[in-house]
């Protein structure tokens, strides 16, 4: 089983503006409508675990774009919109318990998404690989990708790609040696 983070950040490490805005991501020139490897990544995972804030943001995009099961980690949500029944499900609890529960259901490779969820999985050393695409913009403030953790977590650099002559996509694997 592996838990993956696949995310974009500003140069100063923010995943969204302070109010959760992502407009700065939509402003990236993309004349060839390239997904920059996202479809290949999604094809390699079994399910997504995302936080409530990320789920609510995704709902504002209109069309549901995930073809894999989505598990929304939330202690406050009580229901999924009717149109997403069978596609998304609410889960509650601690990250280790959620991973155990999903593994017993046959979901081994998980895409972990959303700032708070990523941070909670990192705090429990449950992230195996991180793929970060840095966008050449300084936001100055916003929602950070990383928060405080109780221990150092070492990662090995696997590779880095430059996309569209402006995005820098780096791959890291957890070094547990």
Domain boundaries defined on the chain? 2-174
CB 144 within 8 A of CB 117: no
Q: Give the β-pairing of 2-10 and 129-135.
A: parallel
Q: Which positions ≥6 away from 40 have C-beta within 8 Å?
A: none
Cα-flanking dihedrals φ and ψ of residue 31, to 5°? -60, -25
Least confident of 58-67, 69-78, 157-166: 58-67
CATH fold of the domain at 2-174: Dihydrofolate Reductase, subunit A (3.40.430)
Task: Check residues 32 and 152 and name the one with the higher pLDDT.
Answer: 152
The pTM of the full predicted model, rounded to 2 decimals, is: 0.92
């Amino acid at each position: 089983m592996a838990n993956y983070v696949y995310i974009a950040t500003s140069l100063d490490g923010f995943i969204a503006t302070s109010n959760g805005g992502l407009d700065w991501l939509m402003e990236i020139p993309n004349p060839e409508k390239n997904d920059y490897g996202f479809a290949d990544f999604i094809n390699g995972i079994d399910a997504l675990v995302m936080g409530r804030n990320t789920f609510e943001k995704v709902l504002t995009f209109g069309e549901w774009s995930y073809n894999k099961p989505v598990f929304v980690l939330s202690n406050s949500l009580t229901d999924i919109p009717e149109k997403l029944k069978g596609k998304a499900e609410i889960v509650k609890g601690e990250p280790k318990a959620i991973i155990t529960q999903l593994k017993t259901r046959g979901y081994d490779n998980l895409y972990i998404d959303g700032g708070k969820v990523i941070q909670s999985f990192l705090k429990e050393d449950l992230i195996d690989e991180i793929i970060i695409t840095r966008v050449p913009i300084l936001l100055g403030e916003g929602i950070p990708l990383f928060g405080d953790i109780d221990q150092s977590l070492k990662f090995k650099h696997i590779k880095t790609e430059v996309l569209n002559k402006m995005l820098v996509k780096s791959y890291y694997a957890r070094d547990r040696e």
